Amino acid sequence: MEPSTAEVRVKSGTDEQQDSMAQSSLSRGVHQIPSMGFSNAYLVELGDQSLVLIDTGTPNKAARVLAYLASMGRKPSDISYIILTHPDGDHSGSAAALKRLTGARLAIGELDAPRLSGEKKLKEASGIWGLILGFVGLFMRVERVKADLELKDGSTIGPLTIIMTPGHTDGSISVYKPNEAIFVGDLLRTDGSGNLSLASAGMSRDMEQVRRSVEKISRLEFQMLLPGHGRPIEDVASKKLREFVRNGFR
Ligand SMILES: [Zn+2]
């Protein structure tokens, strides 16, 4: 979860419609689901007619995912997997509902699975962030759900490879489509111009681990970088990420 007020935009209906035209289909079989609000969710075409949903947004966003699917001429059962980059409520909020509505298999990094299922607290934070989380929790009820698949470093789902990128949460993962795209969850954020920044320190478990995870994915090749918040980088993204690392993560 990355509560940055700069990223929370209040939109009128008209803005949302314009947004949906602009943000829906990226390239290389990757779609950003429009009108999801605070958090990003993506659909990836696997090439065998099936789709993978990466992250599910805050609670009550299932209808938006299904509406976008319908606009693609696809049906709920075409989603074969739902992969969560991490269990924070702004990414897992609609996971339980979407699992029911699509019949997809739900997957998450193995170390984060107990937080999704409710065996462990969803999120731990101290100080001011603890207070903010407590406050957000009053409004955002996240339905707990057990994952069907607990992912490890190197696990594969079709053409997608799972890379363990802990730091924001203990079990955070990135989803990598070699030479094409990487979905990083909240390991990295971007602003409206696609400038990179690290996961927010206040909301992350271990910033040293965050930096090591960013270095790890900077050794991969990809054109697109798709963050959990902010605008996707659609071209030469691995080169931009290497510059970001060389520049002291700035
Ligand atoms: Zn988040």
Please check whether residue 77 lies inside any domain of the structure.
Answer: yes
Structural domain includes residue 161: yes
DSSP letter string over 80-146?
A: EEEEES---HHHHTTHHHHHHHH-PEEEEETTTHHHHHTSS-S----HHHHHHHHHHHHH-PPPP--
Token pair for residue 147? 């994952």
Ligand 1 centroid – CA 39 distance (Å) = 6
- Kindly state the tokens that stand for 180: 């094409």
CA distance 97 to 76: 12
Whether the Cβ atoms of residue 83 and residue 107 lie closer than 8 Å to each other: yes
* Distance from residue 13's CA to the centre of ligand 1 (Å): 24
- Distance from Cα 225 to the centre of ligand 1, integer Å: 16
Residue 6 in any domain: the answer is no
Q: Say how far apart CA 123 and CA 138 lie, in whole Å.
A: 14
What separation in Å is there between the alpha carbon of 40 and the centre of ligand 1? Answer: 9
Residue 120 Cα to ligand 1 midpoint, Å, equals: 18
**What residues in the chain have per-residue pLDDT under 70?**
1-23, 125-127, 129-131, 133-139
DSSP state of 199: P
| 3-state SS class at 189 | strand
Identify the pLDDT of residue 141. Answer: 82
Ligand 1 midpoint to CA 228 (Å): 6
Q: How far is the CA of 106 from the centre of ligand 1 (A)?
A: 18
Question: In this structure, what CATH number is given to the domain that contains residue 152?
Answer: 3.60.15.10
Torsion, Cα of 56, 58, 59, 65 (10° steps): -40
Which among 88, 99, 89 is positioned nearest to 65, based on CA atoms? Answer: 99
Distance 229 CA to ligand 1 centre (A): 6
Domain for residue 69, yes or no?
yes
Residue 54's CB: how many other CB atoms inside 10 A? 25
For residue 228, with 0-12 CB atoms within 10 Å meaning exposed, 13-18 middle and 19 or more buried, which class applies?
A: buried
Strands 105-109, 149-151: pairing is parallel
Q: How far is the CA of 232 from the centre of ligand 1 (A)?
A: 14
Q: If you measure from the C-alpha of residue 190 to the centroid of ligand 1, how many angstroms do you get, rounded to a whole number?
A: 12
Q: Which residue type occupies 116?
A: L
- Structural domain contains residue 179: yes
73 in a structural domain: yes
Q: Which domain holds residue 69?
A: 25-186
CA of 91 to the centre of ligand 1 (A): 6
Write down the pLDDT at residue 1: 53
> What spacing in Å lies between the alpha carbon of 1 and ligand 1's midpoint?
3
Report how far ligand 1's centroid is from the alpha carbon of 90 (Å). 5
Residue with tokens 């035209």: 21
Neighbouring C-alpha atoms within 13 Å toward the C-beta of 226: 30
pLDDT at site 48: 86
Residues 172/109, Cβ–Cβ less than 8 Å: yes
Q: How many domains, in total, are found in the chain? A: 1
Distance 219 CA to ligand 1 centre (A): 24
**217 domain residue, yes or no:** no
The upper half-sphere exposure of residue 238, i.e. CA atoms within 13 Å in the direction of its Cβ, equals 15
Tokens 């409004």 belong to which residue?
A: 139
Tell me, yes or no, whether 170 lies in a domain: yes
Global pTM?
0.88
CB atoms within 10 A of CB 33: 24
